[in-house]
Amino acid sequence: MFPVILAFALFLSVSPSSDQEPKEVTSELRISAEGIDHVKRYEGLRLKTYVGLDNPTIGYGHTGYATEYSQITEEMADDLLHKDLAHAQKHVRLLVSVPVTQKQFDALVSFVYNVGIGAFKRSTLLKKLNKGNYAQAATELMRWVHVKGVVIQGLVKRRQSEYDWFTN
């Protein structure tokens, strides 16, 4: 019996505390209501098509349905947002191989929604995260603030918010 108690005590002494490592299983997470509100706040709502940085955009940053003459309702914008977020969530769950907290998941979904799945898949952020380097992965968020070589203050604010969510 003594070796079992000793082994259990040894296990407890080397196990990470709950503050050090997330315990959520990524495959079970869904973006929270706060996460959705975060995306809405940073994307903004546009019911008529506008040309964003590269693509015609409508609703909450949706690019797939937008044409130069599109107009939608707020309900349609919400529907498009939820479909787009489902797609982003699916890829975060597929690509992230380490456990994350709800806030980390929300931050990652917001990030993927904004930069795209391909960029996330190729990112150093994902590589560091999947190696368990949570702090280094969070720092990588702050590198994604440029468009065509120019720092965009809106992206600086968004990434700071995602960083704060990811690290708290």
Active site residues: 43
C-alpha closest to that of 115 among 79, 83, 98, 91: 91
- Let me know: does 61 contact 69? Beta carbons within 8 Å: no
Strand partners, 48: 71
